[in-house]
Structure 1
């Protein structure tokens, strides 16, 4: 019986919980105690003395393998738990083991369940400064405990839970929190490892080596055709304005003029540090696999932030709580952040508005600010809470009112702190999540398959950790006195044309390394009988370098077109045609979504079909342009997701909104069940995004890199940009 009992423990050690009475051969347990382990998603099973547990052989082998793997690594700090490593090992009632220091800190956060199987514990680990255990408490794992350590592993019996009036309030919400979040950790002047290696306190080591840290942003203009007859005027002549952010310079520079260093020593180019606030849904619908995958994804984010980056965590269900204040991701900060994330328990409703309000408050109240700031918001459900209007009626929250003007570019503020939203699964509120991202200048991603959440986060932070341009503003001036601006087609970017039609501007904001932006400018071109060419436009841009905090001013050359007597037949520029197709497809998506929301799915699919026909006849798609081919495929996918109302509600709406977000901001978003499975998703992916997704997938596949913390690498420009 003893052998069978041990096999049953191994088979049931991870996911299945059982209550089994002690037999005479089971001398591992006290006479009066049963083994009790209750986990979320698995029903408790009680067996009599005569009942024998006999799992299938395949399940037994898998459980045994997983059990061996789990015993090698602490699931809280992800470090090794080999005996003799100088750390006490705590083995819980459910048979899962952890570093004692990790699990004791986890319990300190208010958690009294197993972080792996969610089993409720009768006894919890505590730390006692005395060498002698208090009366009624027992020392555990004395072999693994260092002899010279003054702390002792003790157990405290958990008292019966008090009745809670509102069962949907998670345990983490019980401790008080400050009313003003001005307790953010100081940025300080700590040198990163590369600066210490270079032997300089200058935040830009390239300056000492005489090398430029990076090139400037590039500006170019392309007319739709190179020539217009001098006798003809045009009221709708299109010019493409193209921006490309500085490249990441391969991520390495040589250290010269350092006599104490090896000749071939290289260091990582510094990057702009970030303040990141994650707002995470821990409502009851996140229980089980979803929450486990969210914790894994957050662990990846934490491990890839540098010591100058700061992270805060907001958790929300029926209400919201600041789980972890804005702290630098030093070794200590990472460890505490991992413990905080692993203490999450899913329970309650979905109050997106309250979570967003708390996340915005952290950004507003912080005393110091890193050059880059962003919020990540993830939810898998509908907002089950409403706010009252002035008339007393209940209505959905106005998310713009929840964000301070400094975050959504309101009055007195031209630029925003973006909120990148992630809709998780088939039941999330895609419309609200898309609205939040649009207001703030962020992107909306649709995570259809649970396993893609880490890759989606990786793509997002891959961009955020490579910001090279801040608060870029583009101005467009007409040169020839007869040239006037008709329109600026800038997608979701804020644009403005002066009343006289001679000047225009576009607020572009932040750019990641190697990121590109394209805007279409429609102008009126007069007849010009006396000249062989006409000067049309001049473009200027001004932005802030996030590292040096210096303002950079750039100016393009004048754009001129030839004015022959006869222009002849000239094909439209492929570059201009490509962007016209992108904007045309985005407009079709918006129109189709409007029709679908009114219940007209037939009309919606017809709009998308007509857009595909226009695309198929374009110059760029006939030249096999990858973006246009991907747009064609995406429009067909959207049609399929509008087959009926059920399919549209489950995935069609979110798929269309994530596509709209991507094409209107010209930035990569997660779409459906893949991050890099198609050229469509890669259309706006930068090298740094691609590198971070590759790194995420390597950890998921269990490569050697997943066995150790990954240090942030920047710039990440070694991979060629897919086009």
Structure 2
């Protein structure tokens, strides 16, 4: 209808002339789409928090928001940022347009106001008028707000563990069952938008297994107790294709991000989280699926498990841009909702992971300090879905986050500096998007009838040794492209007078290819010579350096235990003794780079245990992240380092290096040219590389 008729209709409804109800207009009359997305990352003061909030001290990033692709602007303007449903006049829903030009379904924004939200969910602008739904007359109208700060008359709720709290995110669109996921095709593969850079790869070869005895020969007449044998595994590599091919070759991923949006995330933290999520969305392929869960006092699924096609990315960006911060921290509810997405979905991609980020202490879980596993849904551990946890800032609960990741088979990363959150996410998804081996199991069997297994040191991997000590197994699970695993097996070598050679162990690996679920296997046999006499003993460097790695991890665990009981002096002495012992080993005297990296890492931990305050703010999280990295032999983000040559990135693969490089060099919202040359940074540094000077 015309403008004058529209005004008459409003007057007939008893509405004020300055009401913010939507007036239909053409696309040409609409403001630029960038203006609608601008300022969505603007910092906002924390509110409605049930705990002390620390305001961020770092400057707000210059980026003003996550911009959808240009060809998607038209459709993105017609989506309500609260319920993510299409807004179209004439469908029985009033549309509210605020003075900041952002539009929403009237019933959605009115419900937001009922829950105390009197700022724009998109740009956080304070409104002078708010939408109100009249329950008696069933009419929609606006009500002016006082000119003074409305925050003064909105009391912060007192949160109690056993009290029911209204949902933070009000949307009638969340179904009872999360079975509304996008359909996937079995045995499909995918390529991300930047496939010419890092993803358009094919898998070559199989898992490589090698075995190294501690020494190559033991005299016939001499026994050798606690004889060490190293089992070394390396995943297949990836080789970039020379030209684009429709036959893509990466297994598609189901990724659920569980994000803390409590009051302490306000301002710069939330802005940087949105940027990091924008990077994740941009680098998922059209067959990858993403779901977004936000939690504070309660949890809400903001975005269903949807393919990251052009339209899917656009809707995901809308969901991320709608994030606002307030309330407490209910990690258990966030994880429960994230697990629900992956459990109830109709379809499943071969790779499934959860990313959890939180910056604070859980204020809702009624549990003892040692019962952290209760926060992890049993369904997650039962389905072997790894939760990669990210502790953000100095106030998060590192012990809880580490426990969640450890019990699920994921990693724990410590994001000390706010501005490296995107790089931390990039490293994680660089690995997730490069899985080449699944359900890997290592089977170990003694060959000689006199041998028995003494121990199998495998870190956090589930290990079983049979009662007769003749066989053992290690459940390794997934491997990223080019990842390596080292396990140390010990046995007692008996006296043997009747043979010149003794076969010790047979190692067999069984695993599945994620693309076609085909079962593969490979094996290796290790033996030693049994001469009458031997020359000078030459200890295997491979075995010695892995002994040093395991000893260092044990020292870290012992130091952490001492620090937790308040004995920092003893904790520091444990680390110092370990450094001294490392310096006397064969590999250290030979200038081995692994020993140098371990020494630097132990020294860093000593510095972070200098006082109780330093340990509480950064030392605990740094040590736990280091333990997570060593126990899983997988890269974690640690501290404030973003340098790929740093010792904290020792387990990085090339796919991780490439993704971090992309994060550090690509401006937000500007994908690399599809026709441009591939960016191949310096080769990923192995854990044996020498650390750079600090």
TM-score range, shorter chain: 0.7 to 0.9
> Match for 1:636 among 577, 593, 603?
603
Once residues 295 and 637 of structure 2 are traced to their aligned partners in structure 1, the CA distance between those partners, rounded to angstroms, is 23
2:523 alignment partner in structure 1: 555
Q: Report the counterpart of residue 365 of structure 2 in structure 1.
A: 386
Aligned to 1:527: 495
Match of 2:125 in 1: 119
Contact 2:455/2:490 (8 A) holds in 1: yes
* CA positional deviation for 1:275: 0.7
**Distance in 1 of aligned mates of 2:604 and 2:98:** 46
Equivalent in the alignment of 1:319: 298
Equivalent residue, structure 2, for 1:49: none
CA distance in 2, matches of 1:376, 1:562: 49
In structure 2, the partner of 1:179 is 176
Retained in 1: the 8 A contact 2:446–2:504? yes
- Do the aligned partners of 1:218 and 1:243 also contact (CA within 8 Å) in 2? yes
Structure 1 position 182, deviation (Å): 2.0
- Which residue matches 2:465? 497
Q: CA separation of 1:722/1:87 partners in 2, compared to 1, >3 Å: closer, same or farther?
A: same
| Matches for 1:338-357 after TM superposition, within 5 Å | 338-357=317-336
Please give the alpha-carbon distance, in whole angstroms, between the structure 1 residues aligned to 2:320 and 2:563.
38
Displacement of 1:194: 7.1
TM alignment of 1:67-82, pairs within 5 A: 75-79=65-69
TM-score, structure 1 normalization: 0.74
Shift in Å, 1:124: 9.1
- Runs of 5+ in structure 1 lacking a partner? 1-36, 44-61, 126-154, 196-203, 207-211, 255-264, 388-393, 410-414
What's the counterpart of residue 35 of structure 2? none
- 2:252 paired residue among 273, 291, 295: 273
Higher alpha-carbon deviation: 535-544 or 415-424:
415-424
The match for 1:646 is 613
Once the two structures are superposed, residues 138-189 of structure 1 have per-residue CA deviations (whole angstroms, 9 ceiling, x without a partner) of xxxxxxxxxxxxxxxxx99577699899588675245463332222221147
Report the secondary structure of 2:204's partner residue: coil
**Rounded Cα–Cα distance in structure 2 between residues aligned with 1:562 and 1:344:** 65
Q: Compare 605-614 and 155-164 and name the one that shifted more.
A: 155-164
The whole-number CA distance in structure 1 between the counterparts of 2:143 and 2:672 is: 34
- Deviation, structure 1 residue 325: 1.2
The alignment partner of 1:511 has SS state of: strand
For each residue in 1:603-657, what CA deviation from the matched residue of structure 2 results, as whole angstroms up to 9, or x when unmatched? 1101111111111112222233222211111111111111111111000100000
Instruction: Say yes or no: does 1:328 pair with 2:334.
Output: no
Structure 2 counterpart of 1:470: 438
Structure 1 position 408 matched with structure 2 position 381 = yes
CA distance in 1, matches of 2:518, 2:555: 41
1:448–1:718 CA distance, 2 compared to 1 (3 A): closer
* CA distance 1:465–1:81, change in 2 (3 Å): closer
| Aligned-residue offset at 1:307 | 1.0
Report if aligned partners of 1:253, 1:268 keep a CA contact under 8 Å in 2: no
Paired residue for 2:670?
707
Distance 1:347 1:505 in 2: 47
- Secondary structure of residue in 2 paired with 1:395: coil
1:131 aligns with none
1:354-365 equivalent positions in 2, closer than 5 A: 354-365=333-344
User: For 1:56-67, what aligned pairs fall within 5 Å after superposition?
Assistant: none
Report the CA distance between 1:80 and its aligned residue: 6.1
Partner of 2:44: 40
**How far apart are 1:358 and its partner, in Å?**
1.4
SS in 2 for 1:595: helix
Give 2:233's match in structure 1, choosing from 226, 233, 243: 243
Structure 2 residue corresponding to 1:433, chosen from 401, 412, 420: 401
Task: Give matches, 1:252-267, under 5 Å.
Answer: 252=241
What is the CA–CA distance in structure 1 between the aligned matches of 2:558 and 2:538, rounded to whole Å?
29
Cα distance in 2 for partners of 1:177, 1:507 equals: 37
Distance 1:623 1:309, change over 3 A: same
Q: Is this contact kept in 1: 2:68–2:314, CA < 8 A? A: no
**Partner of 1:148 in structure 2?**
none
Counterpart of 1:248 in 2: which secondary structure? Answer: strand
Tell me which residue corresponds to 2:449.
Answer: 481
2:535 to 568, 579, 585: 568
Contact 2:329 2:362 in 1 (8 A): yes
* Counterpart contact for 1:324–1:340, Cα < 8 Å: yes
Change (3 A) 1:396 1:332: farther
Deviations 1:540-586 (A, max 9, x none): 11111100111112222x21111111123223211111111111011
Contact 2:252 / 2:350 at 8 angstroms: preserved in 1?
yes
Contact 1:353 / 1:397 at 8 angstroms: preserved in 2?
no
Task: Give the 5 Å matches for 1:202-213.
Answer: 213=203
- How large is the Cα RMSD of the aligned pairs? 4.0
Where does residue 227 of structure 1 map in the other structure? 217
Q: What is the number of residues matched between the two proteins?
A: 589
User: Superposed, which structure 2 residues align to 1:85-96 within 5 Å?
Assistant: none
* Distance 1:283-1:406 versus aligned 2 partners, 3 A rule: closer
Contact 1:280 1:379 in 2 (8 A): yes
Distance, in Å, in 2 between the alignment partners of 1:324 and 1:42 is 24
Query: Once the two structures are superposed, what CA deviation does each residue of 1:466-505 show, in whole Å capped at 9, x if it has no partner?
Result: 0000111110011111111100000111101111111000
In the superposition, the TM-score normalised over structure 2's length comes to: 0.77
Once the 2 structures are TM-superposed, how far is the Cα of residue 667 of structure 1 from its aligned partner? 0.3
Query: Do the aligned partners of residues 103 and 684 (structure 1) sit closer, same or farther apart at CA in structure 2, a change above 3 Å counting?
Result: farther
Q: Which has the higher contact order (CA 8 A, sep 6+)?
A: 2
SS at match of 2:445: strand
